[in-house]
Structure 1
C-alpha cells in the first residue's frame, strides 16, 4: 500500500521548481499546518517558506514534495536520495512522465492545481473520500461541501504515472472518519489493481461508489466486476453524489423494508412506493402514520419522505421533525425536496444542516441510492475475499492440459474437449476416427445411439453444411454416414482431421460457459443460455476471476433463462449445482491458462435432471500467439 499520508496531512512540504501554482500550494500547505521548504529557493521567497540548497538538505519531517514546471523526471530523481516518500507533479504530461514510476519517491500525477483545493473543516458527520482523474470531473463531489457534506479526503490523480486510483482507494479504506469512497474513474491503468483495492475496502466494510467512463463495450463488464468486489457502480455524476452521501451517513440497515411517509395523502408517497417496488424494493406508502411508529417498526429499514413542493409553515415543521427523527434513530431517513428553487430555509438550513439526514432532489436518484444502500450492505455482510481462496500452485489439471495447446491456433473440438476433461468438466464418450471401419468399431464401444460430427479446427457452420448426424442406431448407418460426411467435406473443400463418433446424450437445457478476454480485465467467465436457446434467451452474466461458489451461483441466478433450470413449463428441476461447478472449473482454466487461451467456448453445456450432472456436448478453443 502506498504511503499517502503526506498528501492529506503533511508535516513538511518541499517545493521543487517554479510555476503559477506555487502560491496556491504554499497556502494549502500552511493551512494544513505544514512547514514549507523551497529547494534552491530564494531567501526573499513567499512568507513562511524556508529555502534549502538542495533536495539532499531537506529535513526528515518532509513527507511531500511538489514538482512545479518543466520536465519532472530530473527533479524526481533528485528526490530519490532525500527519503521523501511522495511527490506530486503539477503540470501537463511530459515525454518522460511514463518513466516517473520507480525514479525515486512514489509519484502522483502529472496533475492539476485542483489537487490542492482546500477542504472545509467545520462540517460534522461521516466523511466522503474522493478520487477523480481531473478537477472538473471531481468538482460536483467537491461542491457537496456547499450542501453540508463533509469531505474527509480529496485527490486528483491526473495521468497516473505511478500512484493510481487503486492506491488511493486502498489508502482511504484504512483511514478513520471515512464513511464512503466516491470515485470518478475516467481511465484505468490497472483494472485488476482497482479490484484488489475494492476487495480491501469490502473487507473493512467501507462502501465504494464508482462512476466509470469505459468504452460502451467494456463498461458493462467493468461494472459487473466492480459489483463482484463490493463496489456500487452508478450511471451519472448526480447519482455518484447522492449514493455516496447515503452510504456515508446511513448506518447498516436492520431490515429491508422501505416506509414512504407523508403527513397528507398527496399521492407522492404512493408514486415513490410504486417506483421503488418496480426496482425490486419492498416499499409501502404509509401516509398519516406517526413518524416514531414507523421508525419503531422492526420491518422498516429506510424511511423516505417526498416533499413535492414547499408549503410553509407546514413544510417547515415537517423538515424539523424529519431532521430530529434522523438524529434520534439508527435507521436511514431520506427526504426528497422537490422545490425547483431550493432556496427555502427548511431546505438550506434545516434539512442540509443535519449530518444524519440524506436529502435528494429527484425521486429517481433516491430510488437508485436506497436500492444501492440495501444491496451493498446485504452483500457486504456475506463478503468473503476471493483472493483468500485462490490456489497458490498450478493444479494437476494444468499439467495435463498444457500439452494440448497450440499457440496461435484454433483447437479441434476433440482437443478442446480433452482440455475440458483435464479440468473435470464432463464430456460425452467419443473417439476421433479416420475410416468407416474405425467409426463402426468406435460406435460399438461407445454404445448406440451415437452422433457423428466432421472434425477440423477451423470448421464453422457444421450443422448448416450437413456435417452433423444424430441418433444413429446401427453399424450400417454409421458406415454410410461416415462416407457421407467425408464426401460433403471433400465437395466443400474442408480438410478434415477425422470424424468424431460421440455418445448420444439425453437432452436437458442447453447452457453455455465461456472464457472471454476483456480489453481492461483480461480473462472473464461468462455464463448464459447456449445452443438454439441462445437465440431466444439473450443475455449473459459476467464474473472476473478469482471468485468463489457464491459468485458463480449468483451469476447463474441473475440469468433471464434461470426459470428453465427450475423446470419452468412443466419439466423436472435440473442440476443447477452441476452448472455452478462447471462455471467454477472454467474459472480455474481462466486462472491457470488464461494467458494462453484467447477464448474458450463450452456450448452447448447440457444441464440434465437434478443429480445427473451437466455434459459439454460442444467446445471451441483458440490459443493466443506466443509472445515475441
Structure 2
C-alpha cells in the first residue's frame, strides 16, 4: 500500500500527473516571452516524448504549433499545465483548467505573498482556487520542474545540467536550485528531479519529499529551504525516508537576522528559530549542511555508497602531510579516525616498507611511487578489519587521458575496492571539476569518486557516518502525559506551576506560603535549617530582579527577611499582585539546570535543556528536541552540553544520577504537553541535581491568552 501523505483531503493524492505528465499545456504561450520560449526549448532539448499544446486566446501558430484558444479547446487529455499568464488572469485560467479536466498546474507568475499583505491575500485566494478545483498547484513565483528520468521539463530558464542521476533537488528558490544543479553537474552528480516550489500556495517541500521517498529513481533527496511549512508532513516524510534508507540532505538559510530579513522579502515567509530546525533535523535523521558545496558533496557520496553505521573510517594517502591534513579535518568534522587494531597493524607491517608506520590515516610513503600495488595491498588489509566501515583513498583522478603512474594507481585502487566488502571512496586532495573523462574513468574502474577536496570530502564522510548511525529509525517515544483535567485552573504563579508539576510526577522542593512575618517564621522553623524566601506573584517572572528573593536565611531571621522581600517588591513593582511569600528549605549543593518548553511557530512544543540559574544567559549552553521525548532522548541531550562533565563529579562535585535526571526532564516535557495548545512556554529554572536528588526549585508558565485571576 502506498504510504504517501496528502496534506489536503480534497486535493488529488498523486503527484504523478505533475511530475510525470504525458501531455503538457503551455498556457499564455507567446514567442514574445522569453519564459515561453525557454520552456518550449527545454522540452525539445531534454527530448520530451509526450504531447505539447500551446494555449493563447488569440490562437494562431506559436513555437511552430497551432495554438488553442483555451485549455477546453485542446480537446485531448492534458496532465499538467504551465501557467505564464498575468496575476489578474489566474482566476479565469483556473476555471479553464477545471473545465478541461487538468489537475496539475505550475504557476510562473509572481506578485503574490512575496510582495506584502495585498499579495498574500491574492495568494490565499489562489490556494482556495486550487482546493476548489482539486488542482495540485506548484508555485506561484516558481521556475517549475525538471524530471530527468522521463525527460520532462516544465522549466522556464535554461537547463542547469543535463546529467541524469539519482539525486532529487527540491528548492523553494528556483534560481538557487539552478546554481546547485549546475555545481552538481560540474562534480559529475546526476539528478533525477529538480522542483522549484516558490511561494508554496499549495504544494510544499514536505509533500514533494514524501513523493520522492517512494520514487524508485531517487536515492538521495536534497533540499534548499528558506522556511519550513507543513512540518507535520515533513516530519512524517523524513521518518519514512530514514526507515527506507533514503537520505535527506537540507541546506536551510536563516542563521542570522540578515538572512531572516532577506528570506521574508523573497518569499513572504518568516524564518523560524534556526536552532529548533537543527533539533528537528537531528531527531528526524535529516542531514543538515550549511553551504552548496557541502550539499553537493554529501549528496554525491550518499548517492553512490552507504557506509556501515557505527563502524570506523580509515584513510590512506601517498603523503604524510596530506594524512595530517585529513586527520585535522576529521577532528574538526567530528569524524573519528581511530587507531588501527593490532591485527591490522601487524598485517600492514608485512606489506609496508620498513620505514613506514602503520597508522590511521595511513601514509603509504614514497614506496608507493615505485610500487603502485601497495595501494591495493593496503586496502585489502583494511578491508579485513571488521571495525572499519569505510575506506577513503586520498588521490586525484585525472581529468584528461594520460598514461603512466596515475593510471596504474587508479587501476590498483579500482581493483582493490571492487574486491572489497567494505565501502570505499576515492577523494581528491583539492577541489576540482569532474569532467566526462574523469566520470567515465571512475565508472570504468568501479570507483566512487568525489572531486570536492579534502575539506568538503571529509565533512561529507562525517555526515554520511552520522546518517548511517540513525538508520533504521529508532521508535518514537511512546510517553503519555498525565491529564491536567478540565476542572484544573491553569497555573498562573510559581507555586501553582510547581504544584501542577507534582501532579505530573516531577519532584519539587517543599514550599509553604506565608502572608505575614509570623507565618514565615513558623514555616522556616518547620524545615529545621536555613531557608529561601521568594515573593509569590503572578505578575513577576524574574523575582531576583526586584529584590524578591532572600537566600540562606536562618530561622530566627525569617520574619525580617519576609519584611525585606515585601518592602523591596512594593518599591520596585507597586502594581504587582502579591499572593504572599514562599518559604522553602535552602539547597546548597548540586548542578543547576534550566528545563524549558517553548512553542515554536513551525514545529510546535520544543524542549530546551541547559546550564541554569544565573548562567543560562551567559553561557547559552543548551540542547533542543521536539516534544515528546523519552528518557533516552534526554540522555543524549545531556551528553551534548558543553557542561556535561559537571554531571559526573567534575573537580569533586556531586555525581548526578543521569538516568533519573533524564526521566524527570522527560516528565517536565510531558507536563508541558498536558497543559494544551494555549501554553506559550513552561520553564523550570533551576532544576537542581545532586546525586539522586532531583528537584524543581522554581517554575514559570506563560500563556498565549491572559489567565483569569484566582478567585
Q: TM-score range by the shorter chain?
A: 0.7 to 0.9
* Change over 3 Å in CA distance of 1:341–1:379 after alignment to 2: closer
User: How many pairs are equivalent?
Assistant: 612
Name which of 281, 285, 288 aligns with 2:361.
Answer: 285
The aligned counterpart of 2:690 is 608
Q: Distance in 1 between matches of 2:479 and 2:102?
A: 36
Q: Distance in 2 between matches of 1:92 and 1:493?
A: 52
| Contact 1:12–1:35 (CA under 8 A) maintained in structure 2 | yes
Give 3-state SS (helix, strand or coil) of 1:397's partner: coil
Query: What are the equivalent positions in structure 2 for 1:341-352 lying under 5 Å apart?
Result: 342=433, 347=438, 349-351=440-442
Q: Distance in 1 between matches of 2:53 and 2:479?
A: 47
| Contact 1:515–1:590 (CA under 8 A) maintained in structure 2 | yes
Give 3-state SS (helix, strand or coil) of 1:178's partner: coil
| Contact 2:309–2:465 (CA under 8 A) maintained in structure 1 | no
Q: Distance in 1 between matches of 2:179 and 2:207?
A: 22
Q: Distance in 2 between matches of 1:159 and 1:305?
A: 43
Which stretch has the larger CA shift, 65-74 or 203-212?
65-74
The aligned counterpart of 2:679 is 597
Deviations 1:539-575 (A, max 9, x none): 1111122444332221111011111112222334212
Quote the offset at 1:55 in angstroms.
Answer: 3.4
Quote the offset at 1:463 in angstroms.
Answer: 3.9
The aligned counterpart of 2:157 is none
The aligned counterpart of 2:51 is 35
Give 3-state SS (helix, strand or coil) of 1:171's partner: helix
Q: Distance in 2 between matches of 1:165 and 1:608?
A: 46
| Contact 2:54–2:65 (CA under 8 A) maintained in structure 1 | no
Query: What are the equivalent positions in structure 2 for 1:387-426 lying under 5 Å apart?
Result: 389=478, 395-397=482-484, 399=486, 403-405=489-491, 411-426=492-507
The aligned counterpart of 2:567 is 487
The aligned counterpart of 1:318 is 409
Query: What are the equivalent positions in structure 2 for 1:27-66 lying under 5 Å apart?
Result: 31-38=47-54, 42=59, 44-46=61-63, 51=68, 54-55=71-72, 59=76, 61-66=77-82
Query: What are the equivalent positions in structure 2 for 1:287-306 lying under 5 Å apart?
Result: 287-288=363-364, 290=377, 291-306=379-394
Residue 228 of structure 2 corresponds to residue 188 of structure 1: yes
| Contact 2:188–2:434 (CA under 8 A) maintained in structure 1 | no
Normalising by structure 2, we get a TM-score of 0.77
Q: Distance in 1 between matches of 2:204 and 2:559?
A: 64
| Contact 2:70–2:96 (CA under 8 A) maintained in structure 1 | no
Name which of 106, 109, 131 aligns with 1:88.
Answer: 106
Deviations 1:121-149 (A, max 9, x none): 79999610111123321124323235432
| Contact 1:6–1:63 (CA under 8 A) maintained in structure 2 | yes
| Contact 2:611–2:643 (CA under 8 A) maintained in structure 1 | yes
Normalising by structure 1, we get a TM-score of 0.87
Give 3-state SS (helix, strand or coil) of 2:139's partner: strand
Quote the offset at 1:581 in angstroms.
Answer: 2.2
Q: Distance in 2 between matches of 1:514 and 1:571?
A: 24
Residue 147 of structure 2 corresponds to residue 109 of structure 1: no
The aligned counterpart of 1:76 is 94
The aligned counterpart of 2:612 is 530
Q: Distance in 2 between matches of 1:54 and 1:279?
A: 54
* Change over 3 Å in CA distance of 1:347–1:603 after alignment to 2: same
Query: What are the equivalent positions in structure 2 for 1:168-187 lying under 5 Å apart?
Result: 168-187=208-227
Deviations 1:296-322 (A, max 9, x none): 332221111223797962222223333
Give 3-state SS (helix, strand or coil) of 1:381's partner: coil
Query: What are the equivalent positions in structure 2 for 1:101-250 lying under 5 Å apart?
Result: 101-103=127-129, 104=133, 105-113=135-143, 115-116=145-146, 127-143=166-182, 144-216=184-256, 218-250=273-305
Quote the offset at 1:209 in angstroms.
Answer: 0.4
Q: Distance in 2 between matches of 1:339 and 1:463?
A: 56
* Change over 3 Å in CA distance of 1:531–1:312 after alignment to 2: farther
- Consecutive unaligned residues in structure 1, runs of 5 or more: 406-410
The aligned counterpart of 2:533 is 452
Q: Distance in 2 between matches of 1:340 and 1:53?
A: 51
Quote the offset at 1:164 in angstroms.
Answer: 0.9
Which stretch has the larger CA shift, 251-260 or 464-473?
464-473
* Change over 3 Å in CA distance of 1:314–1:412 after alignment to 2: same
* Change over 3 Å in CA distance of 1:233–1:172 after alignment to 2: same
Deviations 1:214-243 (A, max 9, x none): 242632332222222110110100100000
| Contact 1:322–1:333 (CA under 8 A) maintained in structure 2 | no
The aligned counterpart of 1:362 is 453
